[in-house]
Chain A
Amino acid sequence: MANYYTDNKDLAFIVERVVDWPAILALKEDFGSPDCPWSGPDEAKATFVEMLRDPVGEIAANRIAPRAEEVDDIGCRFDAGRVIFPDALERNLKDLRDAQLMGMTIPRRYGGLQFPETVYTAAIEIISQADASLMNFFGLQGGIAETIAQFASEELKERYLPRMSTGEFTGAMALTEPDAGSDLAAVQTRAKDASGGEGIAARQDPTTGQWTISGTKRFITNGCGDVILVLARSEDPEKKGGGRGLSFFLVEKNPRVRVRRIEHKLGIHGSPTCELYFDECPAWLIGARGMGLARYTAWLMLAARLAIGAQALGIAQAALAEAEAYARQREQFGRPIREMPQVAAMLADMRMLAEAARAVLYATSEIVDLHQGAEVRGLKEETRRYGRLAEALTPIAKYYTTEAANRICYDSLQVHGGNGFMQEYPIERLYRDVRITNIYEGTSQIQINWAIPRLVRGDLDDLMGALAAREYADADLARLHQEVLRSYEVYKSVIAWLREKDNSFREMTGPQVIDIFVEIYAAFLLLRHAELWDHKRAVAARFIRRLGPRVAMNRDLVLNARLETLEA
C-alpha cells in the first residue's frame, strides 16, 4: 500500500537525517519528568517518524487521497444558513479524529500530542498531498489552538483545548474584512448598522465585563467552525487608532454569529470560505487589549505561514508524482515522453525546485521550534535571537514554497499536455488548488514587504555567515560551495546598495532581492544535505549551476529598476 511519508524519500530524509531534533527537544521537552513520554531525544524522534508513517502517511495515501476527487467535485454547499460538507469530507474529518491527530501541537495536559512544529509541518505536507483542502481543517487547528494555549486565560484553555484535541471542535480565524485584507490595521471602527454594516467592533459591558462584537468578516476559512478567533476594534479610535486599537477575541459558535454565504472558488472546494455576521455576539478577550494585531495576529501568522508553505509543498509533491508517472507511461514518437530532452529537463527542474523549497521550509520550521522552545523556557537572549530569525525566514519560506509549488503545478500540467487540461487527471485539480497558496495568509507581495526590511537590517546575516563559513572536505562540494560564495558576495553588495534607497524602491525590487537571498540560502542547505545523501549531490549541482546566472540577472534587474506604470 502507498504511504505518503515513506514514499516521499526527500521528506523522510529531512525528517530522519537533517532536522536537529536534540536541539529542538532540549528546549521543548523535560526528559525525565513524569509528563514527558520519552526517555530521550532518540526515542522521541523515533516516535515522530513512526507517527508520520502511521497514521499520517497511511491515512493520507489510502483513505484521504482516494476521496479527493469526490470532495472537489461536490464541494461545500450553503443551505438555509447552514454549511453542508460533502460526505467524503465528513469521512476525512472522522478519520483524522479517529486517528487522534487533531491536537498534534496542543499541550499534553489538554489532551494533545504536544509535537514540535516541524513534525506538524511534515504532517501538513503529507495531508495536503492527499487533499489540499483538508489541510484547512487539519493545519488551521494547530495555529488556532496554539494561540489559545499561548495567550488565553486558563479558563478558556480548559474549556476549548481538550475539545480541539479530540477534533470535536474545529477552529477558524476571522481577520479579513471587506475593506481590510492585507491591511489589517484598517479593521473597521464600528458596525455601521445591525442589518448589514461592514466592519466589526467590540464593546465591553461596563457592569458585567462581558464583551460583545458586531460586524462582518469575510473570506473566513472554516468560518462555520466551532471556535473562532476574531480580530476586532476595541479601543476608541480617537485615542488609539490603527493597529493599536485592535484586540483578539474568542467566539464560540452560537446563534449570534451567522454564516451569511460561502464563496464559490477556483479551488480547495472542500474548504468552506464563509462570510460571517456577528450580531452583538458574546466574546472572550484573549490576552491584553490593544495587542490583537501586533502580538497575537503576528504570532498566529508565523504558524499559519509555515502551514501554508507545507500545504503548497504537499500539492507540489502530488503534482510532481503525477508528472513523473504520466511521463513514464505516456508514449509519443515511439518512446516514453520522459525521454524527450525538454520533458526530462522539466521533470528534473520540478524535483530540484521541490527539494530546494523543502530544504528552506524545514530549516525555517526548525527555527520556529527553537524560538517557541526558548520562549517557553524564558531564555531571553535565545528568544530574541531565534525570534528575529523566525520573523525574517517565515515570510521568505512561505513566499518561496508557494511560488515554487505554483511553478511545479504549472509544469506538471504542461507535461500532461492536453490531457492535463481535462478533468480526468488529478493535475487539473492540483493546478486550481495550489493557486490560493501564494495569496492567503498574506500574498507573496506582503511576504516580500515583510522580509525586505529585515534583510536590509541584517537580521539573517549571522545565519548566512555561518553557512558561508562551512568547509567541505569533499572536493566537488567544496567547488560548488565556492560558486555559492561568489553569489553570496553579490547578495551582500546588493543589500549594501539597497541601504541607500528609500522604502518604495526596496519594495519594488523586493521580489528580485528575495529571490537572490532565498536561492543562495537554499543552495547552502542543499550542499549540507549533499554531505549526508548522495542523491543530493546531483540536486545541489543542478541548482548551483544555475544559481550564478540567476543571481547576476536578478542583480541587474535590481540595479536597473525604475518605478513606473507605463499606462497609455
Chain B
Amino acid sequence: MPHTIAVIAREVWDTRDLTGQILDEAGGLRPGALQTRFDPEDLNALELALRIKDAHGARVVAVGLGAPRQVEVLRECLYRGADAAVTATGDLAAADTAAHARRLAGAVRSLGRVDLLLVGTAVPDDDNSLLARHLAAELGWPAVSWVDAIEELAVDRVVARRAVEMGYEYVETPLPAVLAVGVALLEDDPRAPRPAKAMLKLKMKKAEIPTVPATDEPAPLTLRVRREAVPPRAIETATVDPENEAALRAMLDAALKGA
C-alpha cells in the first residue's frame, strides 16, 4: 500500500524587493502594502513529497492553516500534483507555534493513516523554526530536522539524508515520522521546485478544499503572546563640505557627544 504523505503549506509575507512604506507611523503593517506568497521552504517540502510520489507512488495531502490571504497555497499544491488538500480552521490570530501545531496535528490526524509529515524548516513569518518539533510532540512521532533528501523508504521506516559539516548524516527513523525539510533539496538541476501542471490547473481551479474544524475541546494556549510595535527611529541627516575642516570637526564632536 503506498505511503500517505502530509505536507504543511503555509502562506507567508513576501519580504523580497520591498519598496515604499510598509509600516504605518505607529510601526504597524500598512494594510495592502505587503503581498503574500507560498512559503518557499514549504514549497521545498512539497517538492520532496512529490518526488517520493514520482519514485515510489504515494498519496500526497497538503495541509493548510487559517483562511487564505492572497495566495491560495492549497490549490497551488493541487496544481503541482498533490492528491488532496485540507485546511484547519480556528481562531489563530493570537496563537503561537505550539497552538498552530496543535491545530495542524488535529488536521493531520483527521486524514487517517499518515506515514510522513513534511514541513519546511524556517519561514519568514513568526519564525522560530520549531513547528516541526511541536508537530512531532503533538503527534508523538519521531522527527528529523534539516532533511535534504530521502535515501531509502520502506513500509515502516525511512532513511533521511542531511548535510552536516564535512559531509552527510543518514538518519533512520520508524514511520510515521515528521521531517523538517532543509534548503539543499534543489542543489542539483532542477534548482527550483516544480511549477504547476497546466491541465491540473484547469481542472482544479474550483476544487473544494475541505476544512477540518477545531476539535470540541479547544486547545489551551501554551503561551500568551502580546505584540508591541517599536516606533520607527527618526534619523537626522546633515551634509557638510568635505573640504571644510572646521565643519568636519564640529560634526565629529557632535556625533561623539551624542554617543
Instruction: List residues of A whose CB falls within 8 A of some B CB.
Output: 1, 37, 47, 50-51, 54-55, 58-59, 62-63, 66-67, 88, 91, 95, 98-101, 104, 113
Contacts and interface: CB of A to CB of B under 8 A. Distances in A.
Nearest to A67: B189
20 contacts: A37-B202, A47-B201, A50-B201, A54-B195, A55-B195, A55-B196, A55-B201, A58-B196, A59-B195, A62-B192, A63-B191, A88-B189, A95-B195, A98-B194, A99-B194, A99-B197, A100-B197, A100-B200, A101-B198, A113-B198
Contact of B202 (A66, A88, A113): A113
Contacts of A1: 40, 192
A55 B197 contact: yes
A99 B189 contact: no
A91 B192 CA distance: 13
A91 B196 CA distance: 16
Given A37-B202, A47-B205, A50-B201, A99 B196 contact: yes
A367 B190 CA distance: 38
Interface string B180-194: 000000000111101
B1 interface: no
A129 B144 CA distance: 40
B199 interface: yes
B238 to A, nearest CB: 24
B201 A98 contact: no
Interchain residue pairs A-B with the least CB separation, the first 10: A55-B195, A62-B192, A58-B195, A100-B198, A100-B199, A59-B195, A55-B196, A54-B196, A100-B197, A63-B190
Nearest to A3: B195
Contacts of B76: 54
A95 B197 contact: no
A113 B195 CA distance: 17
Contacts of A47: 201-202, 205
A91 B197 contact: no
B195 A66 contact: no
A22 B201 CA distance: 21
Contacts of A55: 195-198, 201
Q: Max chain A CB contacts within 10 Å: which of B76, B191, B196, B197? A: B196
B55 to A, nearest CB: 14
A50 B195 CA distance: 12
A66 B192 CA distance: 10
A95 B191 CA distance: 12
Interface string B198-219: 1111100100000000000000
Contact of A91 (B79, B190, B200, B205): B190
B190 A98 contact: no
A104 B199 CA distance: 10
B72 to A, nearest CB: 10
B199 A113 contact: yes
Contact of A51 (B40, B190, B194, B198): B198
Contact of B191 (A37, A66, A100, A104): A66
A95 B196 contact: no
Contacts of B202: 37, 47, 113
A99 B198 contact: yes
A88 B196 CA distance: 20
Given A99-B197, A99-B198, 12 more contacts: A1-B192, A51-B198, A54-B195, A55-B196, A63-B191, A66-B191, A91-B189, A95-B190, A98-B194, A99-B196, A101-B198, A104-B198
A539 B192 CA distance: 35
B186 to A, nearest CB: 9
A163 to B, nearest CB: 15
Given A58-B195, A58-B196, A99-B195, A51 B189 contact: no
A189 B201 CA distance: 49
B192 A51 contact: no
A523 B172 CA distance: 66
Nearest to B194: A98
Contacts of B205: 47, 50
A95 B198 CA distance: 12
Contacts of B196: 51, 54-55, 58, 99
A88 B194 CA distance: 16
Contacts of A104: 198
Contacts of B189: 66-67, 88, 91
A47 B198 CA distance: 10
Contacts of B199: 100, 113
Contacts of A91: 189-190
A96 to B, nearest CB: 10
A67 B198 CA distance: 22
A88 B188 CA distance: 12
Contacts of B191: 62-63, 66
A51 B195 contact: no
B94 to A, nearest CB: 32
A1 B190 CA distance: 14
Contacts of A95: 190, 194-195
A63 B192 contact: yes
A365 B142 CA distance: 57
Nearest to B76: A54
Interface string B209-240: 00000000000000000000000000000000
Nearest to A166: B199
Nearest to A87: B189
A115 to B, nearest CB: 9
B37 to A, nearest CB: 9
B40 to A, nearest CB: 8
B54 to A, nearest CB: 9
Nearest to A123: B198
Nearest to B190: A63
Contacts of B40: 1
Contacts of B194: 95, 98-99
Contacts of A63: 190-192, 195
A168 B194 CA distance: 19
Nearest to B193: A62
Contacts of A67: 189
Given A37-B202, A47-B205, A113-B202, A98 B197 contact: yes
A37 B207 CA distance: 13
